[in-house]
Amino acid sequence: MHKIKLSNQKSKNIKTNITSYSWGETTMKTMIELHIGTRGTSLKKLVKKIEIIGFKSALGDYDFEYVWDHDPTKEEVFDLGNKIIWALSESDSTFRMVTK
C-alpha cells in the first residue's frame, strides 16, 4: 500500500501492483527476431528450446526477449547467442539478435 497525495485532496491509500522498479539503472535486454525455415524442426519445438534458454515470447518488433538481472559482458552475450544457435541447429531457421 502506497500513500499518494492527489493535488489539493487528502492523501489516499491506493493499492498498486509494482513488481519492480529502477532508480536510474537500466535493465539490459537481449531480443531476437526469428526467421523460420521451412525444413527441419517444428515451430513448437523451436519455441520450447528458445524458452529453455530463458527467453520469453514477445509481440512487437521482436519474437523473444531475455531480461538480464545484471549488465552482461560481451562474453555473456556471445554465450547466449551460442545457445540460440544450438536451439536452431536442427532447422534452417536464422535469427537477428539485439542487446540494449
In this predicted model, what pLDDT tens digit does every residue of 20-47 receive, in sequence order? 444 445 689 999 999 998 888 888 999 9
pLDDT tens for each residue of 36-77: 988 888 889 999 999 999 999 999 999 999 999 999 999 999
Let me know if 34 is exposed, middle or buried by CB neighbors in 10 A (0-12, 13-18, 19+): buried
| Lookup: cell for 20 | 519492480
Domain at 24-99: CATH code: 3.30.70.380
Could you tell me the three cell numbers for 57? 515470447
Question: Does position 8 have pLDDT exceeding 60, yes or no?
Answer: no
